[in-house]
Amino acid sequence: MVLESLLKAKEGLRKPLQILITSSIITFCSFLLSLFVFKHDIGLYSVFLITIGLIPLTLKINLFASKISIKNKSNNVLSIFNFYKEIIVAYTCIFCGITLVLSLLYILLPSNIAEKTFQTQINEIKAIRGYFSFGGTFQTILFNNLGVLLACFVFSFIYGSGAIFILAWNASILSTAIGMTAKAIGGIYALPFAVLVYFPHGSVEILAYFLGAIAGGIASNIITRNKLQISTLWDILFLLSLATFLLLIGAAIETTTIILS
C-alpha cells in the first residue's frame, strides 16, 4: 500500500514530526476520496478511510509497545511512563495530524459546503451540548469520557489497532468544533484561539484515550503471543488507572469552563 510505505513505526518513533506529516497526508487523501466517492456522508466516511490508512502504522506501534512492556521489569510509576513516552508522542502526532487537516478543511470550505460535509459531526456536537445542558454536568462528562476510554481499550484489545477508529472519530468531532468556533470569530486567523478554547480539558482527555489504546494494544499482543507476565499486567493497570485519573481532571476542568461560560 502506498500510504503504508510512507513511514515505518520505529523510524516514526524516533522522528515524531514524520508521523504528524504522514497522519496529515492520510487524512487529506481520505477526505478527497470521500469527497468523490461517498458524497452523501463525506465526514463519516473520511473517518473510516483515515482508520484504514492508519491501521498498519498503529499495529506496528502497538506491537512495539508490547515488546517494551515485556522487557520492562520495573514497577516504578515514573519508569513505566518513561518507557511509553515515545508511543504517547506518536499517538499525539497521529491525532494532531487528523485534527489539524480536518479543522483547516472546515474553515477553508464555504460555509454551506462545510456544514453539509461535516453534518454527522455537527449533529453529534449538538447532541453532546444538549446532553450536557441538563443537571449533573460533572458526572455526565466523566461517565461519557469513561465510556470512550473503555471503547478505546476494548477496540484496541479486540482489533489490535481498532482504537484508531475511536480516536479518528473524536478527532473529527474536535476538528469540527474548532472549525465552527474559528469560522464564527474570524476564520483561519482565529484558529489558534479556537484551539485554545478546547485545549485545557481536551488535551487531558485525549491523553487518557491514548493510554487506553496503548493498554488495549499491549493486552492484545501479549495474549496472542502468549507472553503474559506480572510486569505487563502492572503496566496495563497503571496505564488504565492513570487514564481514569486524567479523565477526572478533564471532567473537572470542562465542568468549570461550562459554569464560567
Helix residue ranges, H only, 72-162: 77-108, 111-117, 119-132, 137-159
Q: Model-level pTM?
A: 0.84
- 95 vs 22: CA distance, rounded Å: 11
Residue 235: strand, helix, or coil: helix
- Confidence grade of residue 71 (pLDDT, cut at 50, 70, 90): low
- pLDDT (tens digit per residue) in 162-218: 778 888 999 999 999 999 999 988 888 889 998 988 888 888 999 999 899 888 888
Q: Which pLDDT does position 72 carry in this prediction?
A: 56
Type of residue at 14: R
C-alpha dist (Å) from residue 216 to 24, 156, 213: 24, 5, 5
Q: Which pLDDT does position 222 carry in this prediction?
A: 76
CA dihedral angle for residue 130, residue 133, residue 138, residue 140, rounded to 10 degrees: -40
CB-CB contact of 178 with 195 (8 Å): yes
69-73, 150-154, 195-199: the lowest-pLDDT one:
69-73
CB-CB contact of 212 with 200 (8 Å): no
Q: Higher confidence at residue 94 or residue 4?
A: 94
- 85 vs 119: CA distance, rounded Å: 35
C-alpha grid cell, residue 216? 488495549
- Confidence grade of residue 84 (pLDDT, cut at 50, 70, 90): confident
Q: What percent of the chain stands above pLDDT 90?
A: 31
- 1 vs 53: CA distance, rounded Å: 9
58-67, 75-84, 111-120, 187-196: the lowest-pLDDT one:
75-84
CB-CB contact of 45 with 38 (8 Å): yes
Handedness of CA 246, 252, 258, 261 (dihedral sign): negative
- Confidence grade of residue 73 (pLDDT, cut at 50, 70, 90): low
Q: Which pLDDT does position 56 carry in this prediction?
A: 83
In the predicted structure, residue 247 carries a pLDDT above the cut 90 = yes
DSSP 8-class letter at 160 = S
- Confidence grade of residue 108 (pLDDT, cut at 50, 70, 90): very high
Q: Which pLDDT does position 228 carry in this prediction?
A: 65
- pLDDT (tens digit per residue) in 132-151: 555 457 788 888 899 999 99
Q: Which pLDDT does position 232 carry in this prediction?
A: 75
- pLDDT (tens digit per residue) in 35-67: 888 878 888 999 999 999 998 888 777 676 666
CA dihedral angle for residue 131, residue 50, residue 44, residue 207, rounded to 10 degrees: 0
In the predicted structure, residue 19 carries a pLDDT above the cut 80 = yes
Residue 76: strand, helix, or coil: coil
- 171 vs 95: CA distance, rounded Å: 6
- 69 vs 217: CA distance, rounded Å: 11
Q: Which pLDDT does position 185 carry in this prediction?
A: 87
